[in-house]
Amino acid sequence: MNDRMIGNTVSVKFSSLGNANEISGKVDTGATNSSLHALDIKVNGDSVTFRCPELSDNSITMDLSGSQEVLSADAGGQQRPVVHLDVCIDGVELSRVNFNLNDRSEMDSPILIGQNILKAGNFIIDVNKDDDPEDIQRESVQLDEVKSESKTKREQNVLQAIKLLKENDVTIYELVEFLRTSPLYLRNGENVDE
């Protein structure tokens, strides 16, 4: 079994902050950089001060390594400060990983694990790893029921493709990475050679 296999959530320790607490992080293959929950963010020249209740009862001040513009569907563009942190993700130590600082109070998790950590740790995502085997069985039965009720050919094709990916243990991350790096890709419904 691959010791770098992770699920949709991971255990994160921030070793550079001297914090021994494990915090749950959510994996997002669509996010370029990782994000850390931060409140009362103040940039002071080459440093940034913020609060992260999950990491410390006190304010944290550290070197600023830059900023990142993040686009969202509802808020438009937003500049976020970026810091380097040493982390341990499910037992894998990573040094100087970029995290943008953002108020994640309304999010499911105080930490978002993006592509930068997935690549640095050479992680493989198993979307079923976090799931209860009984839930997977129920989802499989529901998928079969939905398939039999599908009314359009397109729906049947999509469900057949999902089933094929699942049967061959292809993760969403692997599929997205293949599509992103493949010399053949779809543009306006046609195969194009680069």
| pLDDT 10s digits, 24-40 | 899 988 888 999 999 99
Residue located via tokens 């010399």: 183
Q: Which of 3.40.1280.10, 2.60.120.10, 3.20.20.80, 2.40.70.10 would CATH assign to domain 5-125?
A: 2.40.70.10
Beta strands in the chain (DSSP E): 5-6, 9-13, 23-27, 34-37, 39-44, 47-51, 60-63, 66-72, 76-89, 92-102, 111-113, 124-125, 184-187, 190-193
Report how far Cα 89 is from the mean position of its chain's Cα atoms. Answer: 12
Q: Structure pTM?
A: 0.62
Query: pLDDT class for 126, splitting at 50, 70, 90?
Result: confident
Q: Is the pLDDT of residue 132 over 90?
A: no
Residues 185, 129: Cα–Cα separation, whole Å: 29
- Measured distance CA(69)–CA(80) in Å, rounded: 6
pLDDT tens for each residue of 141-188: 455 555 444 456 777 777 777 777 777 777 776 777 777 776 555 444
For the chain, give every residue range classified as CATH 2.40.70.10. 5-125
